[in-house]
Amino acid sequence: MKTGYLLPTLWLALTSVTWANSPDWVTDQPQLEALYQDLHRHPELSFQEQATAQKLATQLAELGFEVTTDLGGHGVVGLMFNGDGPTVMIRTDTDALPITEETGKEYASKVRVTLPSGAESGVMHACGHDLHMTSFIGTARQLAANKDQWQGTLMMVAQGAEEVGGGAKAMLNEGLFERFARPDHILALHVSASLPAGKVAIRPGYTLASVDSVDIQVFGKGGHGAYPHTTVDPIVLASRIVLALQTITSREISPLEPSVVTVGSIHGGTKHNVIGNEVTLQLTLRSYSPQVREAQLAAIKRLSAGIAMSAGLPPELYPTVTVHEQESIPSTYNDPAQTAQVREALQLALGAEQVEDTEPVMAGEDFGLYGRTGDKLPITIFWLGTVEPEQFNAARINGTALPSLHSSHFAPDYRAAIPVGVKAMTQSALMLFNANPAADPF
């Protein structure tokens, strides 16, 4: 069924592919747009994605997948067995953010919650995970309708709690690869707020950074602000530590290695004339190589302890450095060989002019974890353009900034982006199913 929603150019792009493994495309744009709007209107925060997961589970079951729910929180696994061949896993994330939507769209989220801090907030799919889920269901439908085009096991994984770095970890800890299937190939996409709808972007190797949240608790010996010589002032110590931390990236890490050490929060003291006992610093660390991460953490501990020692504090009052391991995520490394195959699939699916090369970013994604188990499975994530092309061109001409991911104004051109996401992911999966020696060659 051809609909008024579908842009004529996209319809042409969807129907004009002539290569060997061109599936018989199911036209489901109206259902996918309705799904997108429904998901967008009803966002759920990390580890609370129950209703969202249920919607995905229901759709996968209707398509003939064997579905398991509640893995690693509200994770969903859908398996479709289709003879001998590789296992291809496609992952979507499902959670939203505590952001009050300001897009003014008719389908904008009006959901509100009380956060653990007691503050009221709106909830919004400001990272585009609603678009990821819509592409995910569209891809599942295309592959289910074209089982004659591939052989093997299709593994659809909907993972929650990406925004807190907990979802992938939880699914892996609960046996995703042992209880269900060990994938030969793992794929994901993420929306881009700086790429026009219609385009995708991809790069081999390091693509997204590792992320660590670190607390430094700085101790001192408090007293009267008028008698500082009788105290060890933790605010002065914390200030020296903040400045010393600046030398980690500038003087300890190779200038050829990406490294970020940001102190995002500093809290201490109660009153003008009181020298307190402690100060808390909160840091975010970013890097690509595990060696750089280790060097950052070692330097933070060494510099903090050294500064406390230089102030005359005893070892029991040296700062404590706490790494929030449960929130840590490694860098995302796109397997070069598999990524070259996916890139080829994207070009075949969309046309070479729609596929861009891209640079790595210092944002993080827990998708990287799927490639960091003992098996070192090959993973590939690519970016899906979402900016309405006229808005993109206007921003470029006028030099104005586009709303970023996590912005309350982020409003993807979902009607144009959905079919591109579906087509890109479907062709990538078909390429990997068919390129594997276990399956029939083209």
**Binding region for Zn ion (CB under 5 A) out of 45-53, 81-89, 126-134, 146-154:** 126-134
Which residue in 32, 35, 53, 127 binds Zn ion (CB under 5 A)?
A: 127
- Nearer CB in complex with Zn ion: 32/189: 189
- Nearer CB in complex with Zn ion: 67/186: 186
**Binding region for Zn ion (CB under 5 A) out of 35-43, 71-79, 127-135, 309-317:** 127-135
Of 33, 49, 95, 413, the active-site residue reads: 95
The pairing of beta strand 278-287 with beta strand 205-219:
antiparallel
- Nearer CB in complex with Zn ion: 94/259: 94
**Binding region for Zn ion (CB under 5 A) out of 46-54, 121-129, 171-179, 234-242:** 121-129
State yes or no: residue 200 binds Zn ion (CB under 5 A): no
- Nearer CB in complex with Zn ion: 326/404: 404
**Binding region for Zn ion (CB under 5 A) out of 18-26, 82-90, 125-133, 169-177:** 125-133
State yes or no: residue 299 binds Zn ion (CB under 5 A): no
Structure tokens at 301: 């501990």
Helices 234-247 and 290-310 sit at what angle, rounded to 10 degrees? Answer: 140
State yes or no: residue 189 binds Zn ion (CB under 5 A): no
Smallest gap from Cβ 398 to Zn ion, in A, equals 27
Smallest gap from Cβ 239 to Zn ion, in A, equals 32
Smallest gap from Cβ 132 to Zn ion, in A, equals 8
- Nearer CB in complex with Zn ion: 208/345: 208
Smallest gap from Cβ 364 to Zn ion, in A, equals 9
What is the spatial distance between Cα 95 and Cα 76, in angstroms, rounded to a whole number?
Answer: 13
Q: Say how many CA atoms lie within 13 Å of 111 toward its Cβ.
A: 19
Q: How many CB atoms lie within 10 A of CB 184?
A: 20
Distances (CA, A) of 65 to 53, 85, 141: 15, 17, 10
Residue with tokens 């399956």: 439
- Nearer CB in complex with Zn ion: 127/313: 127
What is the spatial distance between Cα 101 and Cα 226, in angstroms, rounded to a whole number?
Answer: 49
Nearest residue relative to Zn ion (C-beta): 127
- Nearer CB in complex with Zn ion: 127/232: 127
Contacts of 143 (CB under 8 A, 6+ apart): 23, 80, 150, 154, 426, 429, 430
DSSP letter for each residue of 273-305: TEE-SEEEEEEEEEESSHHHHHHHHHHHHHHHH
State yes or no: residue 188 binds Zn ion (CB under 5 A): no
**Binding region for Zn ion (CB under 5 A) out of 27-35, 103-111, 122-130, 285-293:** 122-130
Catalytic: 162? Answer: yes
Smallest gap from Cβ 363 to Zn ion, in A, equals 8
Is 442:434 a contact under the CB 8 Å cutoff?
A: yes
Smallest gap from Cβ 121 to Zn ion, in A, equals 16
Which CB contacts under 8 angstroms, 24+ apart, belong to 172-175?
172/72, 172/369, 172/370, 172/373, 173/72, 174/71, 174/72, 174/75, 175/71
Catalytic: 95? Answer: yes
Is 163:320 a contact under the CB 8 Å cutoff?
A: no
Of 33, 162, 278, 335, the active-site residue reads: 162
What residue ranges bind Zn ion (CB under 5 A)?
A: 127
Catalytic residues: 95, 162
